[in-house]
Amino acid sequence: MDVAIEIMSAICLLIGSFLCISGGVGILRFPDFYTRMHAVGVTDTLGAGMILIGLMLQSQDILIIAKLVMVLLMTLFINPTASHALAKAAIHNGLKPVLGNKECNHTESESSSR
């Protein structure tokens, strides 16, 4: 039983770490601000969630689990709001997204020169 929980927790931590590193690579690799936000989204939702669930499996104390749940809820609750706020501020201040469509080649060439 204990071993099973240990293994599950390890798997959760592993998946979480992998997702976080993927997000970290994404934030460096993606071409512009808006796409980078998607990469951050990966680390903030499932990455953080998996790591916190992995920690929850390791603890026995109900208070600690409660606090971890609180951290998780706050992460899921706050981060989309913060991301939205950020994206909104960016677009209102005239930061143009790089778009994949044909009609927007103009913006793409402009921003790729950065």
Partner 1 sequence: MRHAIYLFLTLTAFWLLNSGHFSALMLSLGLGSILLVLFIAHRMDVVDHESQLVHLSPKLPSYFFWLLKELILANISVVKHIWLGNHSISPALTTVKASQKTDVGKVIYANSITLTPGTITVDLVGDRITVHALSQDNIQALETGEMDRRVSQVVN
Partner 2 sequence: MKDLIAVVMLAGIYGLLSACFFVAMDAVDVAFTEASVGAGISTLLMLVAISMTGRSEQAERHKPALAFFVVLITGGLLIYGTIDMPYVGAVDAPIQVHVAPRYINDSMQEVGVPNIVTSVLASYRGFDTFGEAVVIFTAGIGVLTLLPAVRSRKDDDAIESLNESMHEQHMIVRIVAKMLIPFILLFALYVQFHGDFGPGGGFQAGVIFAAAIILYAILFGLDAARRAINQTFIQFVAAFGVLLYGSVGVVSLLNGGHFLDYSVLLADPIAGQHLGILLIELGVGCTVTSVMVIIFFHFAGRKEDKQNIKEGEAR
Partner 3 sequence: MLIGATLAILVVMILAIIRGIIGPTLYDRILAVNMFGTKTVLLIALLGFVMGRPEFLDIAIVYALINFITVVGVLRYSDSFAFKQPAEKKQPEES
Among 30, 58, 72, 111, binds partner 1 (CB under 8 A): 30
Q: How far apart are CA 42 and CA 36, in angstroms?
A: 10
14 binds partner 2 (CB under 8 A): no
Stretch that binds partner 1, among 4-12, 52-60, 74-82 (CB under 8 A): 74-82
111 binds partner 1 (CB under 8 A): no
Stretch that binds partner 1, among 5-13, 51-59, 66-74 (CB under 8 A): 66-74
Using alpha carbons, select from 67, 43, 46 the residue that is nearest to residue 56.
67
Integer-rounded Cα radius of gyration of the chain: 19
